[in-house]
Structure formats: structure tokens, C-alpha cells
Structure 1
Amino acid sequence: MKDSSKSEMGGSSPCASCKLLRRRCTRDCIFAPYFPSDDPYKFAIVHKVFGASNISKMLQELPVHQRGDAVSSLAYEANARARDPVYGCVGAISYLQNQVSQLQMQLAVAQTELLCMQMQQEPTVPVQMELAADDEKSLVLSSHNFSNLQQYLNFANSSGNVIQDPPKRESLWT
């Protein structure tokens, strides 16, 4: 006996979606190029979040050259939803944006400390330096406001809420 799905696909096994949905995989299967049989988890997670019908509709509405990127995006979002059912990839983006803000603050403090060291070596020469801050104002320092810089540094280094670790999100389902 011949397996009809193998004969229609030219001897290869059905795609992951047709296996999961228990369908016959045809030559014009819209899922076959993007959900190979050797990666069944990829379709299973995307199907769980979006549904096979919605995935099919989305892929049919896109030009062929954009479908691969769309499937990658759907898989990324589905995996993010599996890890964090409430926020999905928005939670990951938020976490990364928070991390960037913290790193910008650390950079500003490090630049200020570097400037302080430079001023200690040459206290009579005015120095201009741009800080990596949201308002992007430049800070002009000279020998007369050196004490203000030292007060700022003491405050920034002693303040416990300047740089914090972001709260960790945990999921009940993972």
C-alpha cells in the first residue's frame, strides 16, 4: 500500500501543520514551505495562539516574498505569549527598553566621573561635555562649578533608586 500523502508530495512527509491537523498535505499546501515536518513545535505553538484558519488567511493575503518573515514574526509572538500570556512580546520590549534606560543612566554617570577626573588634572581649563540624557542638554563645567559636580556625583552614587534591576516577571504556565 502506498501512502497517498507521500505520493502527492513527491515522496516527502507531510508538513508539520498537516500532521498536527491530520490532513492530507498537497503540493499547494500554504503551510508546507514555512512549517517543515522536522519542526512540529513551531506550528503547534503558532496554531495554539493564532489558529490554523487565521494563519492561512494571513499568509494568503501576503505576497509570497513576505510570507517567510510573517511566519517568523508569528512564531516569535507565539513563543512570547507562551512565556508571558498577558504581555507577550510587549513585555520583552518593555524589559529591553528599561534596560536601555538603565544603561544610559550608567553611561551618564560614568561620563560625569570621567569629566570629574579630567577636571582634577586640569582644574583651570573649562570643559564641555554632552551627557546621554533624555533632554540632551549640554553641561558646561568650569573651575567655579566643580563643587556642584562633586555634589551631583555624591548624590548619584549614594542614591539607591537611580539604577535598579527591573522586576522579574514569572508566569504560572511555564
Structure 2
Amino acid sequence: MRQKGHRHGRTVSPCAGCKLLRRKCVKDSCVFAPYFPAKEPYKFAIVHKIFGASNVNKMLQELSENHRSDAVDSMVYEANARIQDPVYGCVGTISSLHRQLETLQTQLAFAQAELIHIRTLHRIHTKPPPYTASTVTFPSNKDFYSDIDMAVAYTDDAGDFLWSC
């Protein structure tokens, strides 16, 4: 004779939702079973405390199965945020992070402005190295000269340069 709650020699435990609600869990038709396993009872407990089991059940049944896991994760996150901050919940967390972001952006802008200022001061106080003319030696190959247009600079009587190609 089989004992109640045993299947093939092992004990079948209800999901966390059914266990907390003290009802029989039929794994095939229980909407909570895939998302609130018996090993994680705190997840359902906190969601139940904030949203209520009936509301969670309605929300999950209205969603398609491929969106339910994300919805449960969101509900658990929101429930945890509501426990920590009963007034603002996750909106308080988002606002706090937004303020931190604005502060960091302001600090970054000041740091970038200071860096530009330091670079400008460094350029003013540092003289560039003197430029020197280098001597270019051309090969003595006749074919090389025949393919190159040479530019020659001449000066007129006024000292202005005149270019010839």
C-alpha cells in the first residue's frame, strides 16, 4: 500500500507556495511550483507578504509561460526592496542610484576640466624643441630623376621666394 505523499519510494514535497499556504501541491497544475521551489521558501514568503498569494497567482496566470520567470524575479526584487524601504521600494533604490550617477558625472566633468587645464599649463611652460633642417641625399640613378618633378626656390631682388616646378 502506498503512503500519501510518496511516489516511487521517495517523498514528494510541495512547492514553497503550497507549503506556506498549507494546501496540496499538484506539480502539473500548480502555477507556483516551477518558480517557487521547496528549496527556496523565502522567495514565496516575501512575495506573499507584499503582494498576496491570490494576486501573484492572478499575475502569473495572465502571463505567457515564457514571461513568468522574469515576472517572478521582478516580484522577488520588488518585495525585497519593499521590505528594506516600505515607502519607496525599488523606486527609492533607483532614485539613490540616479543621484549617485549625477554626482559621479559632475566629478568626472571637474576632473576632465582640471586635466585640460593642467595640459594647457604644461604646454605653455614647455618650449617646443628647435626645428633643424635635414639634408636629403638623392640617388645618382638617372631614371630616378627623370620621373620626379623638382621644385626649386628662387629669390627675387626683394628677398621673396619664387617657386619653380
Superposition TM-score, scaled by structure 2 size: 0.70
Change over 3 Å in CA distance of 1:2–1:89 after alignment to 2? farther
Unaligned runs of 5+ in 1: 125-174
CA distance in 2, matches of 1:78, 1:55: 12
1:35-89 CA distance string (max 9 Å, x none): 0001111000000000000000000000000000000000000000000000000
- Conserved? CA contact 1:5–1:25, under 8 Å: no
Partner of 1:71: 72
Alignment of 1:1-174 (within 5 A): 2=2, 4-7=4-7, 11-27=11-27, 28-123=29-124
Instruction: Give 4+ residue runs of structure 1 displaced > 2 Å after superposition.
Output: 1-7
SS of 1:34 mapped into structure 2: coil
Identity percentage of aligned residues: 58
Unaligned runs of 5+ in 2: 126-165
Change over 3 Å in CA distance of 1:75–1:81 after alignment to 2? same
Superposition TM-score, scaled by structure 1 size: 0.66
CA distance in 1, matches of 2:53, 2:86: 19
- Conserved? CA contact 1:16–1:36, under 8 Å: yes
Change over 3 Å in CA distance of 1:3–1:68 after alignment to 2? farther
CA distance in 2, matches of 1:6, 1:14: 11
Report which of the two structures shows the higher radius of gyration computed on alpha carbons.
2
- Number of residue pairs the alignment of both structures matches: 123
SS of 1:122 mapped into structure 2: helix
Change over 3 Å in CA distance of 1:97–1:87 after alignment to 2? same
Cα RMSD for the two superposed structures = 2.0
